[in-house]
Amino acid sequence: MKVAVVGATGMVGEVMRKVLAERGFPVTEFLPVASEKSVGQTIAFMGKDYKVISLEDAVAARPQLALFSAGGSVSLEWAPRFAEVGTVVIDNSSAWRMDPTKPLVVPELNADVLTSADKIIANPNCSTIQLVVALNKLHAAYRAKRIVVSTYQSVTGTGVKAVTQLMNERAGVEVPMAYQHRIDMNCLPQIDVFLDNGFTKEEMKMTNETVKIMRDAGIKLTATTVRVPVMGGHSEAVNVEFEHEFDLNEVYQLLAESPGVVVVDDPKNGQYPMPIHSEGRDEVFVGRIRRDESQAKTLHMWVVADNLRKGAATNAIQIAEYMLGKGLL
């Protein structure tokens, strides 16, 4: 299969290349694609070196699959051009997520919405993906009524410039700022721009995307998203009020049986999910599972995942794998 990775030189693009190789995706021709300033650079894939090509050249090559991680404006302009030549585009930006004509997919939950007619498929926000994977079976059993989420998000979600800022601040070196404030020894209660309602765009992404993926307009979700000086993955404190009463032992069992979930919950022995342990892993880790004693039918849990893998690259490739397996690609 001829596969293009658009944004191949970026952090997510690098992980996409790695995950394609690890999972043995049937790539027979690889097309690394990036901006004009990167064209001609050499990058490695599966033990071979490839020259980065332009978007124009990639469209002309008519790949069967294009994995996009190059920002919303690039996706809005170029995803339709790839689709016009028959390429299936799986886009990691926010450009198409809330378009009612485009599927927004987490394979463990709603891959059944995909058809052979879908040429532009949206990959959800990293924080949304790990949340809905953890909620999947619990919602089916008890129906989530209201969800309050506070996130603790890795600097890798911003990109190389943010990682450089953090490490250089730690070393006492002045560098160009990815954020408007210091990130080392600090927390930034702002991810993306503020909207008129006082929430950030990242917070509203979680609210709107969760409803679309879980296909339940009755879910009420509110979020506070925070950037923290860590690498390895995003963490979320999740409080869920259910419509139906739950048994805590059954909750553990449902989570343990949930596709893509690993339960790590032995707090007495210091065992709970942490981003340092999620790095390089594709699973969503859930722990600190407990009943909210302040309100009936309400559960607390702590959810951690590698935002570059399950939160981005791996989820996109799992979509492609599903489509390939169903003969949709």
Strand ranges (E), the chain: 2-6, 29-33, 42-45, 48-51, 65-68, 88-91, 120-122, 144-153, 220-227, 234-242, 261-263, 284-291, 298-305
Helix or strand run (H / E) with residue 128: helix 126-142
Do residues 149 and 222 lie in contact, with contact meaning Cβ atoms separated by under 8 Å?
yes
Given the residues 139, 181, 234, 277, select the one marked as catalytic: 234
For residue 181, indicate whether it is catalytic: no
Residue 276 burial class via C-beta count within 10 angstroms: exposed 0-12, middle 13-18, buried 19 and up? exposed
Spatial distance between the Cα atoms of 114 and 105, rounded to a whole number of angstroms: 8
What is the C-alpha to C-alpha distance for residues 152 and 226, in angstroms, rounded to an integer?
Answer: 5
Whether the CB-CB separation of 321 and 121 falls below 8 Å is answered with: no
Q: What is the CA radius of gyration of the chain?
A: 20
State how far the Cα of 172 lies from the Cα of 27, in Å rounded to an integer: 43
Cα–Cα distance measured from residue 131 to residue 119, given in angstroms and rounded to the nearest whole number: 26
Of the residues 126, 139, 277, 300, which is catalytic? 126
Report the amino acid identity of residue 105: V
Closest CA to 122 of 101, 83, 96, 157: 96
Q: Is 234 annotated in the active site?
A: yes
Residue 106: CB atoms within 10 A of its CB come to 24
Instruction: State how far the Cα of 54 lies from the Cα of 60, in Å rounded to an integer.
Output: 10
- Give the closest residue to 311 by CA, choosing from 73, 106, 39: 106
Catalytically active residues are 126, 234
